[in-house]
Amino acid sequence: MNLHARTFPQSPCRHGSRSNMKTDELREKYLDFFVGKGCLRRPSDVLVPKDDPTVLFTPAGMNQFKNQFLGIGPLDFTKATTCQKCLRTGDISNVGVTSYHHTFFEMLGNFSFGDYFKREAIHWAWEFLTDKKWLGLEPSRLTVTAYLDDDEAVGIWQNEIGLDPKQITREDEYENFWPAGSPTNGPDGVCGPCSEIYYTPPSGKKVEIWNLVFTQFNRVGDPPNNLRPLPKKNIDTGMGLERTAAVMQGFESNYEIDILRPLCDRGGEILGVKYDFASPVGRPLRRIADHVRACTFAIHEGCVPGPEKENYIIRLLLRRASMEGFLLGKREPFLSQLVPMIAEVMRKPYPELHQTIEAVSHVIESEEKQFLGVVERGLTKFRKLVDQARSANRTSLSGDEAFDLHQTDGFLIELTETLAAQEGVSVDMARFKECREEAKKASGRGAFADSVMSEGPIDALKKSGGTEFLGYEAIESKASIRGIIADKKLAESYSSPLVTIGIVLDKTPFYGESGGQVGDTGTIRTASGEFTVYDTQKDGELFVHIGQLKTGSLKVGEEVTASVDASRRAAIRRAHSATHILHHALRTTLGENATQRGSKVEGDQLRFDFAHPRSLTNEELISIEDQINQLIAEGAPINTRVMPINEAKKLGAMALFGEKYPDFVRVVEMGDFSREFCGGTHLSNTGQVGICRVVKDELVAAGVRRISCFTGPKAIARMRESENLLREVGMLVKATTAEELPRKVAALQDELRVAKKELSQYASQSLAGMAAKLVNDAPMVGNIKVIVHRADELAREQLKELVDQIRAQAGSAAVLVGQAVDGKVSLIAGATKDLAQRFSASDAVKAAAKLVGGGGGGRAELAEAGGKIPEKLDEALQEGLAFLKNKLGG
């Protein structure tokens, strides 16, 4: 499990190929082998987990079995095998540097939860690798490592498998223990030694293909003697699919195998270069292939590029891939063209990718377009920074500058680094990293949910099982208190009011937030007190009622009555059923590609996110709203059924890509038009929605649109509000009926237009009068009138008109007018044509502007300037006057 990068020959040379086994075949062989050993074949977990706050993406096969490893919750099997989609952000910088690290990769695993242990794990791994029926690898090319103190493992490898001691190396806890270094440094909890298996090709550079982890200890406190044997020992192994496929296909680079080489070639085709491992375009094309593959899988699951967390990783990967193309001279978006090829090489194991090719491509293309725009602008700024650095005799860009480019301009730090290197300039990366840390803003769940949902107490409660959910049938029930979570700890009893705490019951009618539907609110009553629930959250099978004690006290074991806020729940049911109807209407109107990307269901209010490349037309929106209300009016029955997931899929029930479903799923059916996987609370008949209004259609992320609707009373209230508004406007414009409004408003607009025209004529006349007076009273220098005047009362645009009027009326004049309004100074200088040789209005205005802290310029006849020190305006006008007299007097 170490993260240190080894160097590996950057060569694609094909060593004596053994079987040329295809990757698809290898995947199946592995799973078949372990099924043969009694393991249950389980599907891959999602790539983007939504219920595990500790990781952004699934990093290994064992993650979906965390609870089984911790001994929490029910366990209906004790041996499993999977092929898991993984994404390791920690390996981003290894991609292209080594030839066997990807961001996205597949991990083949076999797992035991208190079932088989070290002996079987080692024997089976060996059998799979070397037996002719399976991979048939040459035993002498395999070497293994074991943890320093793990004599048991070394004994098995040496005495039972018969490995030469030279093929076995012992390594320390940082190399061969999981978690790395945990005996010394912690954390406490389950841990154990591991044993890695390496393959050495003829070139002599070995690569790790499989890691066997023997979780056999519980760490308690600091060494020595802190590793206690677990009563039930576990096995967790991970074999890299791509690495092993490379071995089987006789390559030293993963990127040459049958599911990756076509992507490198395709990238080359699109960019007009030929992919070759060792050529300068080799590494960029490998990165592009890797990153787009990772993004395709993540976006398929609904994870779109964005500013935070996993969304940011996807943005970063797309930008890095796009940047590689940019550095190879590509100026248009191109990444999305790889998507169909990715779906194709992955067709066998992941046929569902085909269904989102269009949506995924669109997301990628919009993000890339946006990025390229950013690059253009960033380049200009970057060049300026390099010039500035050079002229200040610096050979590096400061970390703050680089961070500003990265953060404010979206000009990736890698881009700055690469381009700076080309210019022979370095970047202060240490400072850059500091800036980035400073800017990292805290995000995540609200503070109270965080403290109440903290893992320790919840995990402890989970050990005695989940909460039984009664909310499909009931909104009130008797229950007993199983746990009280206060201040991140379990409490036996509680009596302080006004502190947010969490309560876990043995059973509950409260719906815990999930599947887009918000958690229920309500009250929990005890013999002595009342607890107000203002949110219900779910962690696995456990429901946590979050809220505050209003009166009395609570204690574990006590009988309570839990009552959900009935009218809010009814409103949520209306909105949820309407969401399914909307989903159906969207797909009939916009086509099958309008796949769901997410939803949020609240009381009589819902929003639905879906893949669609453009905004909806008014006709489309109306048609959608009509269809929804038609289906409501039909009063179709709504039924729910629980069935095996495969049966539900066969029936064509719509599932959300990237959502994790159990083996038995709940399917919600409406009439014969809608069938969806859904755990939410619904009406029994579509007619109960009453009415549904579409209130908004907006863009929320590249290629993802959001429709918001109101249902039932809220929809009515909304319409009433609009009517009231109309009525108010009607009263203001004195219309007696709504139909009269447009005509009335148009008439008002006409009136206004006429009035404005008159006003401006009048203003010109009065400006003309003002100009005449100024010309008349003006002091003369020789036969030239010199007019300097302050006019705060005029509008900004009128200043210029005043100057023009003066120039038109006076035979020969030099003018400077100024005003200070709202803290801003404006100055305009002008001269009649005949004075063009004597002085420039531009110089005059500049001379004055200097005093008010501003600048400007223009032509010899007319020039403008601004300033920001209004209290100095009079002084500035004096300065201007002196300037003019000086010019004209001389």
Is 15 marked as a binding-site residue?
no
Q: Does 210 bind ligand ATP (CB under 6 A)?
A: yes
Residue 120 CB, shortest distance to ligand ATP, in Å, is 19
Residue 247 CB, shortest distance to ligand ATP, in Å, is 10
Nearest to 67 by CA among 659, 540, 645: 540
Determine the interface stretch with ligand ATP among 207-215, 339-347, 516-524, 813-821 (rule: CB under 6 A). Answer: 207-215
Residue 309 CB, shortest distance to Mg ion, in Å, is 21
* 811 burial level (CB within 10 Å; 0-12, 13-18, 19+): exposed
Name every residue whose Cβ is closer than 8 Å to that of residue 624 and which is 6 or more positions away in sequence.
Answer: 582, 585, 586, 589, 616, 694, 707
Q: Is 539 helix (H, G, I), strand (E, B) or coil?
A: strand
> Can you tell me which of 56, 80, 107, 501 binds ligand ATP, judged by CB under 6 A?
107
Residue 256: enclosing H or E segment and its boundaries? none
Contacted by 729, from ligand ATP, Mg ion, none: CB < 5 to 8 Å by type: none
**For residues 114 and 70, what is the distance between their CA atoms, to the nearest angstrom?**
11
- Cβ proximity of 49 and 207 under 8 Å: no
**For residues 794 and 802, what is the distance between their CA atoms, to the nearest angstrom?**
9
Q: Does 102 bind ligand ATP (CB under 6 A)?
A: yes
Q: Is 281 helix (H, G, I), strand (E, B) or coil?
A: coil
Residue 242 CB, shortest distance to ligand ATP, in Å, is 6
Per rule CB under 5 A, count of chain residues that contact Mg ion = 1
**For residues 230 and 212, what is the distance between their CA atoms, to the nearest angstrom?**
17
Q: What are phi and psi of 537, to 5 degrees?
A: -115, 160
Q: Does 55 bind ligand ATP (CB under 6 A)?
A: no
**For residues 567 and 327, what is the distance between their CA atoms, to the nearest angstrom?**
59
Helix, strand, coil share of the chain (percent; to 5): 45, 25, 30
Both structure tokens of 204: 């002599």
Q: Does 3 bind Mg ion (CB under 5 A)?
A: yes
> Can you tell me which of 167, 195, 211, 249 binds ligand ATP, judged by CB under 6 A?
211
Residue type, 478: K
Residue 3 CB, shortest distance to Mg ion, in Å, is 5
DSSP-assigned letters across all residues of 24-63: HHHHHHHHHHHHHTTPEE-PPPPSS-SS-TT-SS--SGGG
Contacted by 502, from ligand ATP, Mg ion, none: CB < 5 to 8 Å by type: none
Compute how many other C-beta atoms are within 10 angstroms of the C-beta atom of residue 354: 14
- Cβ proximity of 412 and 323 under 8 Å: yes
Query: Which residues is 505 bridged to in the sheet?
Result: 481
Write out the E strands in 458-529.
468-469, 476-486, 489-491, 493-494, 501-505, 507-508, 522-525
Q: Does 5 bind Mg ion (CB under 5 A)?
A: no
**For residues 674 and 654, what is the distance between their CA atoms, to the nearest angstrom?**
8
Determine the interface stretch with ligand ATP among 98-106, 429-437, 576-584, 790-798 (rule: CB under 6 A). Answer: 98-106
> Can you tell me which of 24, 127, 208, 620 binds ligand ATP, judged by CB under 6 A?
208
CA dihedral over 629, 635, 641, 646, signed as positive or negative: negative
**For residues 354 and 343, what is the distance between their CA atoms, to the nearest angstrom?**
6
> Can you tell me which of 1, 491, 621, 768 binds ligand ATP, judged by CB under 6 A?
1
Q: Does 105 bind ligand ATP (CB under 6 A)?
A: yes
Contacted by 278, from ligand ATP, Mg ion, none: CB < 5 to 8 Å by type: none
Residues 237-256 that bind ligand ATP (CB under 6 A): 238-240, 242-243
DSSP-assigned letters across all residues of 635-660: T-BEEEEEEEHHHHHHTT-B--TT--
607-640 CB burial, b ≥16 within 10 A, e <16: bbbbbbbeebeeeebebbbebbbebbeeebebee
> Can you tell me which of 33, 56, 72, 91 binds ligand ATP, judged by CB under 6 A?
91
Is 576 marked as a binding-site residue?
yes
Is 789 marked as a binding-site residue?
no
Residues 221-240 that bind ligand ATP (CB under 6 A): 238-240
Residue 428 CB, shortest distance to ligand ATP, in Å, is 29
Q: Which is nearer to Mg ion, 91 or 252 (CB)?
A: 91
Length in residues, the chain: 890
Residue 91 CB, shortest distance to Mg ion, in Å, is 6
Contacted by 243, from ligand ATP, Mg ion, none: CB < 5 to 8 Å by type: ligand ATP
Residue 256 CB, shortest distance to ligand ATP, in Å, is 14
Q: Which is nearer to ligand ATP, 4 or 441 (CB)?
A: 4
Per rule CB under 6 A, count of chain residues that contact ligand ATP = 18
Contacted by 812, from Mg ion, ligand ATP, none: CB < 5 to 8 Å by type: none
- Cβ proximity of 550 and 575 under 8 Å: no
Both structure tokens of 277: 């491992």
Residue 239 CB, shortest distance to ligand ATP, in Å, is 6
Q: Does 96 bind ligand ATP (CB under 6 A)?
A: no
Residue 106 CB, shortest distance to ligand ATP, in Å, is 8
Q: Which is nearer to ligand ATP, 103 or 840 (CB)?
A: 103
Residue 12 CB, shortest distance to ligand ATP, in Å, is 17
Binding pattern for the stretch 179-218 against Mg ion, x by CB under 5 A and - elsewhere = ----------------------------------------
CA angle 344, 60, 91 (to 5 degrees): 80
Contacted by 107, from ligand ATP, Mg ion, none: CB < 5 to 8 Å by type: ligand ATP
Residues 95-154 that bind Mg ion (CB under 5 A): none
Q: Does 47 bind ligand ATP (CB under 6 A)?
A: no
Contacted by 261, from ligand ATP, Mg ion, none: CB < 5 to 8 Å by type: none
Q: Does 313 bind ligand ATP (CB under 6 A)?
A: no
Residues 31-60 that bind Mg ion (CB under 5 A): none
Both structure tokens of 1: 């499990």
Both structure tokens of 532: 């107000």
Determine the interface stretch with ligand ATP among 1-9, 134-142, 651-659, 853-861 (rule: CB under 6 A). Answer: 1-9
Both structure tokens of 526: 């005890």
Name every residue whose Cβ is closer than 8 Å to that of residue 616 and which is 6 or more positions away in sequence.
Answer: 590, 624, 697, 705, 707
- DSSP collapsed to 3 states, 411-455: CCHHHHHHHHHHCCCEECHHHHHHHHHHHCCCCCCCHHHHHHCCH
Is 291 marked as a binding-site residue?
no
Q: Which is nearer to Mg ion, 3 or 220 (CB)?
A: 3
Residue 294 CB, shortest distance to ligand ATP, in Å, is 10
Q: Is 704 helix (H, G, I), strand (E, B) or coil?
A: strand
Q: Which is nearer to ligand ATP, 196 or 604 (CB)?
A: 196
Residue 195: enclosing H or E segment and its boundaries? strand 189-199
> Can you tell me which of 42, 79, 101, 872 binds ligand ATP, judged by CB under 6 A?
101
Q: Which is nearer to ligand ATP, 243 or 583 (CB)?
A: 243
Both structure tokens of 682: 């619904």
Contacted by 675, from Mg ion, ligand ATP, none: CB < 5 to 8 Å by type: none
Q: Which residue is nearest to ligand ATP (CB)?
A: 240
Residue 30 CB, shortest distance to ligand ATP, in Å, is 12
Residue 240 CB, shortest distance to ligand ATP, in Å, is 2
Query: For binding to Mg ion (CB under 5 A), which residues are involved?
Result: 3
Known binding-site residues for Zn(2+) equal: 576, 580, 678, 682
Residue numbers in the known binding site are 576, 580, 678, 682
User: By the criterion CB under 6 A, which residues form the site for ligand ATP?
Assistant: 1-3, 88, 91, 101-102, 105, 107, 208-211, 238-240, 242-243
